[in-house]
Copies of this chain bind each other. A is one copy, B any other.
């Protein structure tokens, strides 16, 4: 065994205990005499597995029966295209608060279906902060307000849930779902691609307040109607069964770890360790994000001397620290430190960074 610490932004590290369980039952799931990959989604074994994952997610996040919980295909990007079709009449407006790349993408995917209003954006400042709440230019009677609680590329995170009154909050939690407790009742929709904090790629979690659905007045293809997925327990068509199953194992692992509260404590500690190393490097490393908006999940950083990037990436990889190359839009480095990265993984990264700085400073 020579598994390394994997700081990929997504798909991303999974708990080793989960991978070992998947491996042990890969050819025969429980008493089914077949791999889970081979089981019908209509059979009892998979239905039980899927329902357990939903129950565990409801438990972990405190999701009430006012909300449906879906395990869909298509990624958060597809969801962002489907959300205005399902939640807004064509003449309505959707408000956006933009704090990075993924918020922009969501806006592009909603624009053909609804009026859009950028209520606030931090683009002029190259997405280094979160616009103050009192500066937001909200639309009266907006269908919903969309924002991205954690921007994976820019490394900008909301550390509180904004208050926008009665307008439903719709939030892309792809990169920080279950990284800390969140009050679901404050949201209209929480959605998240699974491949960062929850499991392998191929499933998009959608937590949607049921009363928001079915009022759009549009003639949609049935497969675009989220209500059809609600009525069919996410099996209006064949779901990504294997990814759903692995997510279920990750959720069980999260419960064993102590749930969102335990994750919050650990993630705060990991973020403290890494930002302290950056801030304490006398400018060798820098993170550009304003303190109030620094992400606990994705930490981009650059070196004063960018010529060292190649050496940093080569040596860190050799040291068992993978996936540290920054997104091509920003360059430099990025460490994604999701739930499955333990404190000792971040400590190993910090140790390497300090040693590298000493040798090259």
Contacts and interface: CB of A to CB of B under 8 A. Distances in A.
- Provide the main secondary structure of the chain A interface: loop
Interface of A: 1-4, 6, 8-14, 16, 19-20, 22-23, 26-28, 32-35, 37-41, 43, 73-78, 80-81, 108-113, 193, 195, 199-202, 219-224, 236-243, 246, 320, 322-323
Q: This chain: how many copies in the complex?
A: 2
B109 A222 contact: yes
A251 B261 CA distance: 44
List 4 tightest A-B contacts by C-beta distance, closest first.
A202-B240, A81-B221, A4-B33, A77-B237
A26 B28 contact: no
Contacts of A28: 1-3
B112 A75 contact: no
Nearest to A246: B37
Contacts of A1: 27-28
A198 to B, nearest CB: 12
Nearest to A243: B202
A320 B32 CA distance: 10
A43 B80 CA distance: 25
A19 B112 CA distance: 43
B6 A200 contact: no
**Most chain B Cβ neighbours within 10 Å, of A9, A11, A26, A40:** A11
